[in-house]
Structure 1
Amino acid sequence: MIVHFEPASQEGIASVVRSAAAERVSLAIVGGGTRSGLGNPVRADRTLSTRRLSGIVTYNPAEMTMSALAGTPLAEVEAALRAKAQTLSFEPMDHRPIFATSGEPTIGGVFAANVSGPRRYVAGAARDSLLGIRFVNGYGQVIKAGGRVMKNVTGLDLVKLLAGSYGTLGILTEVIFKVLPLPPAAATVVISGLNDAEAAAVMAEAMAQPVEVSGAAHLPESVRSRFIDGALPDGAATVLRLEGLDASVAIRAEKLAATLSRFGPVSRLDAAATRTLWTEIRDVKPYADGTKRVLWRVSVAPSVGHQLVAALRLQTGVDAFYDWQGGLVWLRMEADPEADLVRRYIGAMGGGHATLVRAGDEARARIPAFEPQAPAVAQLSERVRAKFDPSRIFNPGRMAAVV
């Protein structure tokens, strides 16, 4: 039987780690447990959860910074920010729909997995908002890095290193991060009926316009009807989000619609429909089907995404839609994972990253979930991990790209 620990303090977490290191037993690091299906399976002797290490430590709306303990529910953080008309600019995804998990996402888990959503390509990833951290390393030591403002660069590289390391380097106990004003208005311009290649060209055209597009996605006909209860116009939908002051959004939406009308029928979504649509894009609603059907998250150059999907369709059955101006491709395989094929084509098209987000137990145990690193980078990653966790007690079996 696996022993489960839920310390309510940072020192309690450090004590558990010291005991595990002394006994040479491994620890599975857990936040809210909402991403339990992500990555290769972790086979550990004990489980250590941060969920009781919860609470907002400081929040200064004037300076647009917040500090919170790692186990603080993301919903609590977002509610506090909304009350002051502020938000997390990187729009973190909720993984529960695609994994069919329960529990509450935690702010520590968001940064540990570097979780980012549709605004990522203009506002940066989660790690770009992270200013400072406290964490426990594999020796059971509490380490502080970074600070409360960007100009405090002490340990800043260490902050970036821990973000996205999936608990393989240390256990986050507190995070300090910047926030931004919540856009008071939003609208979405929809161009209907474009194929994938045409949509890539239209999104590139839109991004070149001086209208500050904050979301650019293409929803092919195979998935279009699964968004906002099928309320999008008929045909594939290329969707472009604008945010800001009400009058500004209206003017920019009109300008963008006029510029792109030559490509196809143009319509517009109001603020409420816009919020719903982009939440569903963020959380990959078309593939939140309660199954373990293989799902890849592929990051490539925006001009390459549709080419990758077209090449794969000649070889195997896939369904897909595009975010980040076409540079983020959500690929659902109809049968086998086809990991070698997916990664070979990505390499042939200039490189990128393919993460096996969801699959059956056998495939997750067999296929590297994260993009394999070049030998020199893999050696550097191993040296870094050995410095932070020399006994390899954190999340054994999980190979995150930590450098």
Structure 2
Amino acid sequence: MTPASEAELAEQIVAATTPLSIRGGGTRGIATDGTPLGTAGLSGITLYEPGAMTVVAQAGTPVAQIEAVLAAENQRLAFEPMDHRALMGTQGEPTIGGVMAANISGPRRISVGAARDFLLGVRFVDGAGNIVKNGGRVMKNVTGYDLVKLMSGAHGTLGVLTEVSLKSLPRPETETTLILHGLDDTAAVAALARALGSPFEVTAAAHDPEAGETLLRVEGFEASVAYRVAELKALLGGEITVEQGEGDRWTAWRDVEVFAGAQGDVWRVSCKPSDAPALVAKSGAQRVRYDWAGGLIWLLTDVGYDLRGALGSYDGHATLIRGSGQPRFEPETAGVARLTAAVRARFDPRGVLNAGLMG
């Protein structure tokens, strides 16, 4: 089913007698059991006010279309949404509804926040067929329950997004990447922490153990970037090279292209940055990439490998991004599971929206 309007979507949900598998662009390789229900028919930018840095788009609008419109006004989606196609081997086009439903945030999350932090308002249809609007089109609209944040990260289990209102930000004048060479994992995470703790406004912080490279991105006005780069080099010391200008490096890093086509399961681990090197050491992973200064670890493991068992107890969670045979999301504790079930019963009393996806 591909409804052409919000009203038609509501009718189809009301008429559903079996579970529905909600899909945006189909690029993340997730397909729950049930009748496919796509949002591609709900597409188009309905409002863009460059002066207010606000854009409103229907959920099925391709992310590329929104980015092109913003770029024409020298603006961007600052939360840097990942494109999963290379990693997952999928086709299609990433949609803004899919990005927001999964709260997809890239390397810049450490400096500007997550995707949900740019979400001003939503429209969605819940599991009972009710059309719900929450939030607004300006930052000052914060009245009522914050369903905006609730819907971002719910993966379509509480409602099907039909429209989102987003905040955009200006594109920077210039971009520079510092590359620290020869650091082991522990030293790299410590260096990234020093950089983030400095006043020099780092917008990405990553570590590639295979290449022995530790990466810091600095963006902004040219004179400011030059000053901050010089100060960071003095602060961190050691062997450092500098890459000027925008390039493909951070896009490839954002999309974890290095694991594309590689045999094995792909895991995404969120943790305290200081815990990351020890977790990696006992992970048994074939290949590793650190992002968010160590707060996010991408791991390539053997097919069917029990990563959660290998990691044991820690302050964080592991998500299976590519693979099968294990729960995609970290199993919930009993208390959290009861709370989650209560929320789902309120928004999807019949259990028809992406049933079983999140436990």
Is 2:331 the partner of 1:331? no
Distance apart, 1:156 and its partner CA: 5.0
- Looking at structure 1, the residues matched to 262 and 156 of structure 2 have their Cα atoms a distance apart, in angstroms, of 26
CA 1:94–1:397 in structure 2 vs 1: closer, same or farther (change >3 Å)? same
Q: Distance in 1 between matches of 2:121 and 2:18?
A: 29
1:163 maps onto 2:152 in alignment: yes
Aligned counterpart for 1:35 among listed residues 3, 28, 34: 28
Alignment of 1:3-402 (within 5 A): 5-20=1-16, 24-37=17-30, 42-44=32-34, 46-221=35-210, 224=211, 236-261=212-237, 264-272=238-246, 275-289=247-261, 291=263, 293-312=264-283, 316-344=284-312, 347=313, 349=314, 351-360=315-324, 363=325, 367-399=326-358
Q: Does the aligned pair in 1 maintain the 2:282–2:310 contact within 8 Å? A: no
CA separation of 1:317 and 1:151: change in aligned 2, threshold 3 A? closer
- Equivalent residues of 1:88, 1:179 under 8 A apart: yes
Distance (whole Å) between structure 1 residues aligned to residue 51 and residue 278 of structure 2: 45
Measured at CA, do residues 133 and 335 of structure 1 come closer, stay the same or move farther in structure 2, by a change above 3 Å? closer
**What secondary structure sits across from 1:47 in the alignment?**
strand
Q: Answer 1 or 2: higher relative contact order, Cα 8 Å, separation at least 6.
A: 1
SS in 1 for 2:273: coil
Cα distance between partner residues in 1 of 2:159 and 2:119:
16
Identical-residue share of aligned pairs (%): 49
- Following TM superposition, by how much is the alpha carbon of 1:335 offset from its aligned partner in structure 2, in angstroms? 4.6
Whether the 8 Å contact between 1:343 and 1:354 is mirrored in structure 2 is no
Give the aligned residue type for 1:337: Y
Structure 1 CA distance for aligned equivalents of residues 79 and 190 of structure 2: 25
Q: Number of matched residues?
A: 359
- Ranges in structure 1 where 5+ consecutive residues have no aligned partner: 225-235
Cα distance in 2 for residues equivalent to 1:331 and 1:152: 39
Q: CA deviation at 1:88?
A: 1.0
**CA distance 1:155–1:103, shift in 2 (3 Å):** farther
> Tell me, what secondary structure is at the counterpart of 1:303?
helix
Structure 1 SS opposite 2:150: helix
Render the CA deviation track for 1:148-190: whole Å, top value 9, x for unaligned. 1222113451111111111100000000011111112100011
Offset at residue 343 of structure 1 (A) = 4.7
**Deviation of 1:342 (Å):** 3.9
- Amino acid aligned to 1:352: G
Using the size of structure 1 for normalisation, the TM-score is 0.86
TM-score by structure 2 length?
Answer: 0.97
Residue type of the alignment partner of 1:267: T
Residues 340/301 of structure 1: CA separation in 2 closer, same or farther (3 Å cut): closer
8 Å CA contact 1:100–1:290 kept in 2: the answer is no
Q: Whole-Å Cα distance in 2 between the matches of residues 305 and 317 of structure 1?
A: 13
Change in Cα spacing, 1:290 to 1:13, as seen in structure 2 (3 Å) is farther
Instruction: Point out where structure 2 has 5 or more consecutive residues left out of the alignment.
Output: none
Instruction: Indicate how the Cα distance of structure 1 residues 290 and 53 shifts in structure 2: closer, same or farther if over 3 A, else same.
Output: farther
Distance 1:11 1:100 in 2: 33
1:159 aligned counterpart, secondary structure: helix
The answer on whether the counterparts of 1:147 and 1:154 sit within 8 Å (CA) in structure 2 is no
